[in-house]
Structure 1
Amino acid sequence: MNYWLVKSEPSEYSWEDLSKNREDIWDGIRNFQARNYLKEMKCGDQVLFYHSGKTKEIVGVAEVSEEAFPDPKDNENKGWVAIKIKPKKALKNPIDLERIKSDDLLNTMPLIKQSRLSVMPIEKIQFDHIIKLSS
């Protein structure tokens, strides 16, 4: 199993939207590195859901429910892909960006080093630490 973080502006698509829908397509990714990460995601992989924009915090845990398939929004057939994710649980205490930056175990995450990347891998130890911090 692998661990990931996906980012979304809550005004575009929020954790609440995913929770309401119970499963949804994660599409519209137009960055080659993020696309390659989408292709690596497997069913059952755990995904941290991060709200970008004003709040800048990890708010929930989702799971990959369908592996990469052609992005239905790729009208020019450029090879973009999408996956499906489903919500598992909202974090009791969201973990904000300042806490991530100040934590020695988390401040090496791609979220800090590649802040514009919308899909990224994280290490299991970081995932577990975030879950522990949010309890």
Structure 2
Amino acid sequence: MNYWLMKSEPEVYGIADLERDRTTIWDGVRNYQARNFLRSMASGDRAFFYHSNASPPGIIGLMQVVETDLVDPSQFDASSHYYDPKSTPEKPRWQTVEVEFIERFPSLISLDTLRQNFSPDDLWVVRQGNRLSVMPIEIPVAEKILAMAR
């Protein structure tokens, strides 16, 4: 099992939405490196849910990857912000995964707290200027985050 960090703005889709829905596809990723990380995921992998563009931003919960290698349908929707006119059903450019809610942490682990506990090499989200919405997390770092959450 691998660990990941996946960002979403709480006004767009937050942990409360996932808790209500129980599962969702993680659509709208339009960065090739983040897309490649999505392609690397396996069923059973765990992902930290990170509220971005929030006050404060931080890790708020945990989810599990339940299905991989899904075609992101938003790339074909001309009314979507994530529409990609170069993508076709025969040659889709964007894949995604389905995730399932596991838990909401008792309190958010803020970006400031993460910066105090991890180096930029340990946890990419604390790197200055990092805008990736999907990133890997090494198991020892994930275990430390889980300990902090509980």
Larger of the two Rg values belongs to structure:
2
- Any residues of structure 2 matched to 1:56-135 within 5 Å, and which? 56-75=57-76, 76-77=87-88, 78-104=92-118, 108-113=122-127, 115-135=130-150
Question: What is the one-letter code of the residue matched to 1:21?
Answer: D
Q: Distance in 2 between matches of 1:104 and 1:25?
A: 29
Task: Output the TM-score relative to the length of structure 1.
Answer: 0.94
- For residues 77-127 of structure 1, the C-alpha deviation after alignment (integer angstroms, 9 at most, x for no partner) is 341011100010111232100011111467731112262100000011111
Instruction: List 4+ stretches of structure 1 deviating above 6 A.
Output: none
Q: Distance in 1 between matches of 2:143 and 2:104?
A: 15
Q: Distance in 2 between matches of 1:41 and 1:34?
A: 11
Give how far 1:62 is off.
0.1
What is the root-mean-square deviation in Å for CA atoms of aligned residues?
1.5
Give how far 1:129 is off.
0.4
Relative to structure 1, the CA distance from residue 73 to residue 130 in structure 2 (aligned partners, 3 Å threshold; closer, same or farther) is same
The secondary structure found in structure 1 opposite 2:11 is: coil
For structure 2, the residue ranges without an aligned partner over 5 or more in a row are: 77-86
For structure 1, the residue ranges without an aligned partner over 5 or more in a row are: none
Question: What is the one-letter code of the residue matched to 2:61?
Answer: G
Matched positions, count:
135
Q: Distance in 2 between matches of 1:104 and 1:110?
A: 9
Indicate whether 1:7 and 2:7 are aligned.
yes
Give how far 1:35 is off.
0.3
Q: CA contact under 8 A between 2:63 and 2:99: conserved in structure 1?
A: yes
Percentage of identical aligned residues: 36
